[in-house]
């Protein structure tokens, strides 16, 4: 794939949906940070928008992990 058609979502390794009362805070704030650098983790606590183009524009390019409270369909 060439760079012009590459998406920031192509480099994502983990998408983690934090469900209440399931140790999501521990996973997102402690465990992920032992594996990935802070700039590689994108915390998403916005349920909307779900438009892919809008979502991609918000995610920085070094991101490898998306973690937060959002609908699974978002990504």
User: Residues with Cβ < 8 Å from 52, sequence gap 6 or more?
Assistant: 9
Q: Is residue 3 part of a domain?
A: no
Could you tell me the residue range of the domain that residue 15 belongs to?
Answer: 8-74
Mean pLDDT of 6-19: 86
| 1: in domain | no
Count of structural domains, the chain: 1
CB 9 within 8 A of CB 56: yes
Q: Is 20 exposed, middle or buried (0-12, 13-18, 19+ CB in 10 A)?
A: exposed
Q: Is 34 exposed, middle or buried (0-12, 13-18, 19+ CB in 10 A)?
A: exposed
Residue 25 within a domain: yes
With respect to residue 2, please indicate whether it lies within any of the assigned structural domains. Answer: no
pLDDT at 41 over 70: yes
Mean pLDDT is lowest, of 15-19, 21-25, 41-45, for 21-25
pLDDT at 53 over 70: no
Q: What is the pTM of this model?
A: 0.77
23 three-class SS = coil
């Amino acid at each position: 794939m060439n760079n012009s058609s590459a998406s920031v979502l192509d480099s994502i390794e983990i998408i983690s949906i934090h469900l209440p009362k399931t140790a999501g805070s521990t996973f997102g704030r402690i465990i992920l940070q032992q594996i990935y650098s802070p700039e590689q983790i994108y915390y998403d606590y916005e349920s909307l928008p779900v438009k892919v183009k809008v979502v991609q524009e918000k995610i920085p390019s070094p991101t490898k992990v998306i973690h937060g409270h959002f609908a699974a369909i978002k990504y």
